[in-house]
Amino acid sequence: MNLIDYPRWPSLARESILNVPMDLRSIKLSIDGKVIDYSEEIDSVVITGMGGSGVVGDIINDLCWFWDCRVPIIVSKNMRLPKRLSRPLVIAISYSGNTAETIMSANEALSRGYPVIGVTTGGKLSTVLTNKGAPVVLIPKASAPRYGLPALLYPTLIILERFGVASVINELESGISGIEDALKRVDDAINLAKQLVNSVPVVWVTESRRGVGIRFKNDLNENAKYYSVVSVVPEGAHNDIAAVTTKQGGLKHVAIMGPNDYEGMYEEVLIDVLSSFGAKPIIVKLEGKTPLETEMYGVTYLGMVTLALAELLGVEPVSTEPIDRLKNLLSERRVFQV
């Protein structure tokens, strides 16, 4: 099976953090008469990005269920920032650097006087921020944004450390160990993929592993060109589970469980209920001794499952023609002003 860039993930993680500027907290800008001082205290972090870049925010939200994150993490997958922010740090993540929604959000953040840091391979985002004096972390390239996940995630973790949001340094290598452990499970990934053929996967995941579930769904969409549904527990147990009483052919329930999820017992009960209606859910147990190790194991292993599924279906995993067509039409019709 072709794992594309997955074997590079440990080196992508290590290489990318070397490009985080050491002087982030000493930067001071003046934009439109507003002074933006990166040394001032922040009361939230907004992570803005789309698709394979935006999932970084979802993963960090997961980690903050286990880490003692000092301020809230707000994930923004839009062309506008949330209203009524006070003193946020805005991390604008765009693998290509040309994601219109992210560029618009970054420009809005600077116009509102918020400190902005870009994480990208280059493109217009890098140019816009650099021209305004805002810092940019340049990362190594991969075959597509989703295959560069560690290069997007690891610098973002270092930024959180520098701003005192979370203590992450001691877990960085354990996260890489999670990637390496998952890469040894190719045969298991292929076996799981075989069980998903000719189905619509219904992915059950706890709130503290939402990012893993979203990433799995996104990889099913993009790598295998496969529809999927994510149901987050406990909310999904108050609505989605009701549909199990109807025998809808083609659904395949997949339950993702981490070793220390505080909602773990809740999900075990939910699995029992699904089973009692004949659903026969597949249980995926994540492995890892630290939150980051478990998270990286999950996204790596489940990503390999989607690559295996693509191969079984005879699907080319890298290209995403409908997404490209959408971006082109949005540009032609001048939907974005960037």
Number of other CB atoms surrounding residue 256 within 10 Å: 24
**CATH class belonging to 6-167:** alpha beta
- Residue in this structure with the two tokens 């940019």, named with its chain if needed: 136
CA-closest candidate to residue 232, choices 267, 283, 274, 281: 267
Paired with 35 in beta bridges are: 30
Long-range contacts of 162-166 (CB under 8 A, 24+ apart): 162/20, 162/24, 162/25, 163/24, 163/25, 163/42, 163/45, 163/89, 164/70, 165/42, 165/45, 165/69, 165/70, 165/71, 165/73, 165/89, 166/63, 166/64, 166/67, 166/68, 166/69, 166/70
pLDDT (mean) for 1-28 = 97
**Phi, psi of 252, deg, nearest 5:** -130, 115
Report the distance separating Cα 39 and Cα 191, nearest Å: 50
pLDDT digits (tens, 9 = 90+) for 48-104: 999 999 999 999 999 999 999 999 999 999 999 999 999 999 999 999 999 999 999
3-class secondary structure, 109 = helix
- How many Cα atoms occupy the beta-carbon half-sphere of 289 within 13 Å? 8
| Secondary element (H or E) of residue 61 | helix 51-63
The CA-based angle 136-326-315, given to 5 degrees, is 95
Among residues 311, 151, 147, the alpha carbon closest in space to that of 218 is found at 147
Per-residue pLDDT tens over the stretch 244-296: 998 777 999 999 999 989 999 999 999 999 999 999 999 999 999 999 999 99
Name the CATH topology of 175-313. Answer: Rossmann fold (3.40.50)
The rounded distance, in Å, linking the Cα atoms of 29 and 305 is 45
Q: With 90 as the cut, is the pLDDT of residue 7 above it?
A: yes
Domain boundaries, the chain: 6-167, 175-313
Q: Render the burial of 213-224: b for 16+ CB within 10 Å, e for the rest.
A: bbbbbbbbbbbb
In the block, residue with structure tokens 């992210």: 102
Cβ contact 147:310 at 8 Å: no
| pLDDT recorded at residue 32 | 87
* pLDDT, greater one: 81 or 33: 81
Phi/psi of residue 85, nearest 5 degrees: -80, 150
Pairwise CA distance, residues 156 & 153, whole Å: 5
162/119 Cα distance (integer angstroms) = 15
Give per-residue pLDDT as tens, 143-168: 999 999 999 999 999 999 999 999 99
Helix axes 149-162, 9-17, angle to 10 degrees: 30
- Please answer whether residues 232 and 213 qualify as being in contact, where contact means their C-beta atoms are separated by less than 8 angstroms: yes
Start-to-end CA span in the chain (Å): 40
Q: For residue 246, what pLDDT is reported?
A: 83
Q: Largest alpha-carbon pair distance within the chain?
A: 64
Report field, pTM of the whole predicted structure over 0.95? yes
